[in-house]
């Protein structure tokens, strides 16, 4: 639900414990990572800047998304972009919404999409240290995500091993618009390291691989770009399953973030039907595709579809599996889901507790 709709929503319900699986911290400027970068990379930034494979190296993929795709009330009074003030995050979100744990998802400066792979790896290390000291080290409710430069599998594995024993980090973060479909074997060393260290992999909307965001080319409108988010997540799921990732790494867990929910049942049915007819092409996929999805993939709720008939949302959750849904707000973005208003469907207290807290508690192993 867009934050602009809150004033006309129904009265606030009793506060519940909440685990928010999608909070976006921001830097005020590149200089925030300078303490964690070697001098050569500071000079590289100052001289050459960021190099992503699209026209505007510091912009997001559609003009409407710049700057920051954020709530109008999320700009700190002291200056800086939304998400850059821990004090404001506490006052505006963590404290009033009962956030027990918040998972950080840094998006800007996109180290995994840097064309200079050495710089991308260095930037992941710096941004992970920045998360640990600037955010998690100052707010115990927050947890970090290990950024990796996935196009450099060796560098990614090194960073995973360096952070895996640090309880401040609870998952690995990869953005979905990778150079090749994510199930391809070039990425398997990352999956092996994730499974070995019992770390889930979060796939959050984003990435700039230079390819058009839709199968038909670059879109004209933000509406098209926004819809392509769900399409990119479907492509990720299909690639992981049919490339045999879950046969090779049966204990590997993924969480798909901010990709919507309505497409999941239809995709499962389509994959199963085609697998029954053409399974000879993929003998390494030994079970129905929907079984791999059901066992190994979780989904965050924001931005969930909100049908005109609220009961249909309950039917959708039944088909996906209530235990596969993790609550997220997308703070501080404009389509933020306030935990007090997020579910229009008539959920029971037990269902709300499961979605807002219980599922994520089990998934991340929080006490």
- pLDDT (0 to 100) of residue 263: 95
d(CA 239, CA 246): 11
Q: How high is the mean pLDDT of the chain?
A: 90
Sign of CA dihedral 251, 110, 302, 24: positive
Give the single-character DSSP code of 98. T
d(CA 60, CA 227): 15
Determine if the pTM surpasses 0.85: yes
In sequence order, the β-bridge partners of residue 173 are 147, 202
10 Å CB burial of residue 353 (0-12, 13-18, 19+) is middle
Q: Which parts of the chain register pLDDT below 70?
A: 1-14, 54-68
- pLDDT (0 to 100) of residue 188: 98
Contact assessment for residue 289 and residue 240, using Cβ atoms and an 8 Å cutoff: no
Domain 22-364 has what CATH class? alpha beta
d(CA 240, CA 182): 7
Both tokens of residue 61? Answer: 């993929």
Contact assessment for residue 240 and residue 295, using Cβ atoms and an 8 Å cutoff: no
d(CA 64, CA 203): 22
Both tokens of residue 87? Answer: 């004090």
SS3 sequence, 84-142? CCHHHHHHHHHCCCCEEEEEECCCCCCHHHCCCHHHHHHHHHHHHHHHHHHHHCCCCCE
């Amino acid at each position: 639900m867009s934050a602009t709709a809150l004033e006309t929503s129904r009265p606030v319900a009793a506060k519940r414990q909440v685990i928010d699986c999608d909070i976006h911290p921001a830097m005020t400027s590149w200089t925030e990572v300078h303490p964690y970068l070697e001098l050569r990379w500071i000079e590289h930034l100052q001289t050459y800047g960021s190099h992503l494979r699209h026209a505007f190296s510091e912009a997001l993929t559609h003009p409407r998304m710049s700057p920051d795709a954020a709530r109008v009330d999320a700009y700190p009074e002291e200056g800086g972009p939304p998400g850059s003030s821990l004090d404001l995050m506490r006052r505006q979100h963590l404290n009033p919404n009962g956030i027990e744990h918040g998972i950080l998802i840094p998006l800007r400066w996109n180290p995994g999409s840097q064309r200079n792979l050495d710089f991308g790896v260095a930037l992941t290390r710096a941004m992970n240290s920045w998360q640990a000291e600037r955010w998690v080290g100052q707010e115990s409710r927050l947890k970090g995500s290990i950024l990796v430069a996935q196009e450099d599998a060796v560098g990614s594995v090194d960073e995973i091993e360096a952070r895996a024993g640090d309880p401040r980090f609870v998952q690995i973060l990869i953005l979905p618009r990778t150079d090749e479909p994510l199930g391809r074997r070039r990425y398997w060393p990352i999956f092996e390291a994730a499974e070995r260290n019992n770390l889930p992999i979060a796939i959050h909307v984003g990435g700039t691989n230079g390819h058009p965001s839709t199968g038909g080319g670059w879109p004209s409108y933000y509406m098209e770009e926004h819809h392509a988010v769900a399409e990119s997540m479907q492509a990720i799921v299909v690639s992981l399953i049919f490339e045999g990732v879950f046969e090779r790494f049966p204990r590997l867990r993924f969480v798909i973030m901010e990709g919507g929910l309505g497409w999941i049942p239809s995709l499962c049915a389509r994959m199963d039907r085609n697998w029954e007819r053409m399974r000879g092409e993929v003998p390494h996929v030994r079970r129905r595709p929907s079984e791999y999805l059901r066992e190994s993939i979780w989904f965050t709720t924001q931005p969930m579809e909100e049908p005109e008939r609220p009961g249909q949302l309950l039917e959708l959750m039944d088909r996906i599996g209530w235990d596969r849904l993790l609550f997220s707000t997308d703070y501080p973005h404009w389509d933020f889901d306030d935990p007090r208003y997020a579910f229009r469907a008539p959920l029971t207290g037990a269902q709300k507790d499961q979605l807002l807290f219980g599922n994520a508690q089990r998934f991340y192993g929080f006490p």
